[in-house]
Amino acid sequence: EPEVTQTPSHQVTQMGQEVILRCVPISNHLYFYWYRQILGQKVEFLVSFYNNEISEKSEIFDDQFSVERPDGSNFTLKIRSTKLEDSAMYFCASLFPAGEGSPLHFGNGTRLTVT
Amino acid sequence: KQEVTQIPAALSVPEGENLVLNCSFTDSAIYNLQWFRQDPGKGLTSLLLIQSSQREQTSGRLNASLDKSSGRSTLYIAASQPGDSATYLCAVAGRTALIFGKGTTLSVSS
């Protein structure tokens, strides 16, 4: 069964550094998402992406964040200047829009640790 | 703004028990509701999806129900096993992106 693939599985970075989290969504999917989960807290929506542009974003997704689909297969989340509070598990997800029965497919996540 | 609440936050049961996890949501204008399983430090595994027009879905020992008008869903786990120990997340898809509850952490003892 096709999967959403995320790399790396764990990234450690110093405060103030830029990080790029990478995702390969399922190939025929059209909607792409980033979510994050701070340790012990709920999974939170960051941003959705469709037709090469952001379709929705949460208040968490400020100017420090950006997303890009640089080619036909990758979907990236960039954090420009990381803060300690950016430490979290980041999940990528993709969706093929087929009505109410369309499930969101998640990757296994990238654990980001900011020191 | 959609809010999703899960009760209880944690649950411990002996092996073999049947159990029910509860999820409630504030905005009934939903497309579907998904139940996920999350093992510690791991990703999200989709268990069941119920469309807004459906009342329930079954997969093996799992049965999920949906009452859209009252904003409630339940996940029923039959004959629980130690391998069922995990956090179970309810998530609602509506006008906005998928919104998650905080989850119920289940521990099944042998």
pLDDT, one tens digit per residue, over B54-67 is 999 999 999 999 99
How far A81 CA sits from the closest chain B CA (Å)?
25
- Give the tens place of pLDDT for each residue, A10-67: 999 999 999 999 999 999 899 999 999 999 899 999 999 998 999 999 999 999 999 9
CA distances to A24, A26, A104, B51, B75 from B35, rounded to whole Å, are 23, 20, 11, 12, 8
CB-based contact (8 Å) between A60 and chain B?
A: no
> pLDDT-derived band of residue A72, with 50, 70 and 90 as boundaries?
confident
- Check B49 against A103: CB less than 8 A apart: yes
Q: How confident is the model at residue A114 (pLDDT cuts 50, 70, 90)?
A: very high
> Residue A100 and residue B52: Cβ atoms within 8 Å?
yes
Contact flag A109-B93 (C-beta cutoff 8 Å): no
Q: Is the pLDDT of residue B50 over 80?
A: yes
SS3 B84: helix
Burial class (CB in 10 A: 0-12, 13-18, 19+), A86: buried
